[in-house]
Amino acid sequence: MVFLEQRRDPAFQAKSEANSQLTKKNKYHHRLGTGGYQRQIPKWRQKEATKKVAGLPMLSKQVGERSANWILARKPKETKSGLSFEDPMLKEATKSILEEAAKTQEGKIKPQMERDIPSDNIGNPEHPSYIRGISSKETWETRFSP
C-alpha cells in the first residue's frame, strides 16, 4: 500500500516524468550495470593485458584510456576488422573518436581538459567538471591533479 501511495503522489509523478524526459535525451546508452565504470575497468584492463601478451592491438593505446572506457561501456562486438556496433550513431561516434585519436598521435591536434577526444566526438555539449569514461565520483580536480 505504501508503495502505491508513493507512486500516485503528484510530486513523485512530476519527478518521474522529468527524469524520463532527461533519459530520452541520452543518445549513447551505456551497458555497465550497477557497478558502473569502477567494476568494469579492471576487467577491461585484464583483457587488454591478455591482448598485449598475444601481440594484438590494444584500444586504450590507440585512443587513450578514457575514450577506450567510453567505447567499451557501449558493449561493441569485437571482430577481426575491429569494433562493430548495431547502433549506427555509436558506430559513427567511435569512428570519429578513432580518427581524432590518430590525429592526436600524429601531433595535429592537442586535446584540452573539456575539449578532449571523447567530449569532442560524442556530439553532446560537455557539462562543466564532468569527465566521460571514468567513475561519476571523480572530478577534474581529483582525476588530473598532480
pLDDT single digits (tens) 52-109: 898 888 888 888 888 888 888 888 877 776 777 888 888 888 888 888 888 877 777 6
Q: For residue 34, give the C-alpha cell.
A: 550497477
Angstrom distance (rounded) from CA 139 to CA 66: 13
Which of the four pLDDT bands, split at 50, 70 and 90, describes residue 11? very high
Half-sphere CA count of 76, side-chain side, radius 13 A: 23
Identity of the residue numbered 96: S
CB 63 within 8 A of CB 117: yes
pLDDT score recorded for residue 112: 63
Q: Is the pLDDT of residue 115 over 80?
A: no
pLDDT score at 18 = 92
The H or E element that residue 20 is part of is helix 10-24
Residue boundaries of the structural domains of the chain:
31-144
